[in-house]
A and B are shown apart, each in its own frame.
Chain A
């Protein structure tokens, strides 16, 4: 298993490295480039120069850039020269993380439960109900879901607040909007997995031992059915975290996503690039954690077979 973990870490490091390098070279590729924009204020140009070192040869610039990154310095905003990516991150990151975690917990827990109930009641009304929810959930993009939730629960019926993030009530609609698609997806996969597992031979073996139906379902069926769901957790986490972009815009939550979207809309290139490097690296890191976790849970990987 150590081999597995090391491999995961290795690939992740390479990925991050490639990502930040791509970001760097992209900065130079942009037509006209943001850094040559005559409208740049003097301070901005000074900052950029200090950060990227334009007058130096490319290789040196690259190394300086990498050096910056390792020291946690992600760059400056062009629109607001006095703001650094770091300052934005420290303020905004907790909001995004909170929203993301809530949405994930909601999505995974409800998704699993719905999937299990669906599979155990295959064919009857309960199953149909959850399958329909899952189908709807995977057909509606998260920003539309968010907007609709906002409109109905917030504006029309006035039940829940729809802007900012000041207390528990504020987190409800955004979390649901963000997590709904994932919940539907998890529920679908869990249901399919449960139905596939129940056909496996070891389920019959379990029944032949005379143990209770509950135990067969819990220890044999669910425990094995959950594996495919865990493998998809990596991309799921990424999807939820990128989904925060739009949800934060919609619900006026001062998280990273909102700033990211704003910077895109303002063509604040250096901010975009800096945040991309950070965001991307963070997501790669999350993916890596999930992959490692999977290796720990599945005994076939945890203990390498003969």
Chain B
């Protein structure tokens, strides 16, 4: 059983805004093991990006601030480190791939320089070596003619290539963990497949852990060992990828799965979207954040937040339906379509 390389306990992170304090991350706990691919799935605004950026302290602080909890990387506490100390971790211990490659690269700097920047201010490596590593990494991520691309500017590259450059930047420091925030959302499907294969290859070759953030369940199914489902700033459900898909415990996860078509879906099964919108984080509801949109919601759901119920070693679900008083329901039930004659 691989070790935990990252341990997050009861993380709470909020932002001061004009309208008040926004609690983006309200109590998140999970671990990442060496060499595993952990997926984080959830709607926009559920807190997944903020959580991942907390790991590298990339959220602007002010107006952001830690309200509670801890993040431990290889045993060291992250939330109390100074910016100077964080620089030792960013880029070389933990790498980050951002969502939109079109805007995530400095338009006035060459690709080569942007990759080599990781090594600026760090001793022990010569200029020649740096350039070699940069070219090597460009080749590794599948960019042809690395020598030529090295001298080019971002606007001369296509979207797919730019994302590969982002991956190269995240990798060149040989980090132990890579955080990929929706790395393929803005790319088309064929490029997406290539990028995902590349990430998987990297895990094989270098035993890098990957935290993969996405809203696409298909990507989760293809890539991840374990999954975290987030909603309203909290963890709704987490477990292995099989448990999440085949032993779904939380109505929100069930809702996500029911709303997409898979090869198993039969023609007469309805695709069920989840009605409603995510909760207002200025005034979070006092009960379960998902209650208002949940067809199985009970009175208690509106009054109090559910406990975290541990179902198996890996499988956790934060839902009142797991309480002994709750009725047994099939949260995956779908209605069948009326067949038109």
Chain A residues at the B interface, C-beta cutoff of 8 Å = 200-202, 204-213, 215, 219-220, 223-224, 227, 298-300, 303, 305-306
**A73 to B152 alpha-carbon distance, docked (Å):** 48
Which 10 residue pairs of A and B lie closest in terms of their CB atoms, listed nearest first? A210-B90, A210-B91, A208-B96, A209-B91, A210-B87, A201-B103, A305-B155, A201-B104, A299-B153, A202-B106
User: With A299-B155, A300-B155 given, is the CB distance from A200 to B103 under 8 Å?
Assistant: yes
Question: With contacts defined as CB atoms under 8 Å apart, how many contacts are there between chain A and chain B in the complex?
Answer: 89
Q: Interface on chain B toward A: helix, strand, loop, or mixed SS? A: loop
Tell me if B86 is interfacial: C-beta within 8 Å of chain A. Answer: yes
Are A299 and B108 closer than 8 Å at their CB atoms?
yes
Tell me if B304 is interfacial: C-beta within 8 Å of chain A. Answer: no
Q: List 5 A-B contacts (CB under 8 A).
A: A202-B103, A204-B53, A298-B108, A303-B156, A306-B156
**A207 to B152 alpha-carbon distance, docked (Å):** 22
**A219 to B96 alpha-carbon distance, docked (Å):** 20
Are B90 and A223 closer than 8 Å at their CB atoms?
no
**A200 to B154 alpha-carbon distance, docked (Å):** 15
**Stretch from B113-121, B223-231, B333-341 contacting the other chain:** B113-121
**A210 to B53 alpha-carbon distance, docked (Å):** 13
Taking the closest CB of chain B, its distance from the CB of A227, in whole angstroms, is 8
The residue that B156 contacts in the complex, of A220, A223, A224, A305, with Cβ under 8 A, is: A305
Tell me if B92 is interfacial: C-beta within 8 Å of chain A. Answer: yes
Are B58 and A204 closer than 8 Å at their CB atoms?
yes
Q: Interface readout for B47-62 with A: 1 if CB under 8 Å, 0 if not? A: 0000001001010000
User: With A200-B103, A206-B106 given, is the CB distance from A211 to B120 under 8 Å?
Assistant: yes
Q: Interface on chain A toward B: helix, strand, loop, or mixed SS? A: helix
Tell me if B67 is interfacial: C-beta within 8 Å of chain A. Answer: no
**A200 to B102 alpha-carbon distance, docked (Å):** 11
* B69-118 residues at the A interface, CB under 8 angstroms: 83, 86-92, 95-96, 98-100, 103-109, 117-118
Taking the closest CB of chain B, its distance from the CB of A50, in whole angstroms, is 55
Tell me if B141 is interfacial: C-beta within 8 Å of chain A. Answer: no
**A305 to B121 alpha-carbon distance, docked (Å):** 32
Chain B's interface size range is 35 or more
Taking the closest CB of chain B, its distance from the CB of A7, in whole angstroms, is 19
Are B121 and A207 closer than 8 Å at their CB atoms?
no
Taking the closest CB of chain A, its distance from the CB of B50, in whole angstroms, is 12
**A204 to B60 alpha-carbon distance, docked (Å):** 9
- Residues of A near B265 (CB, < 8 A) are none
Taking the closest CB of chain A, its distance from the CB of B89, in whole angstroms, is 7
**A213 to B84 alpha-carbon distance, docked (Å):** 9
Are A306 and B158 closer than 8 Å at their CB atoms?
yes
User: With A205-B169, A224-B106 given, is the CB distance from A211 to B153 under 8 Å?
Assistant: no
Are B108 and A223 closer than 8 Å at their CB atoms?
yes
Residue of B nearest to A203 (CB): B106
**A149 to B152 alpha-carbon distance, docked (Å):** 50
Are B106 and A220 closer than 8 Å at their CB atoms?
yes
Are A299 and B90 closer than 8 Å at their CB atoms?
no
Tell me if B135 is interfacial: C-beta within 8 Å of chain A. Answer: no
**A202 to B157 alpha-carbon distance, docked (Å):** 16
- Residues of B near A306 (CB, < 8 A) are 156-158
Residue of B nearest to A297 (CB): B108
- Residues of B near A227 (CB, < 8 A) are 108
* B231-290 residues at the A interface, CB under 8 angstroms: none
Are B118 and A209 closer than 8 Å at their CB atoms?
yes
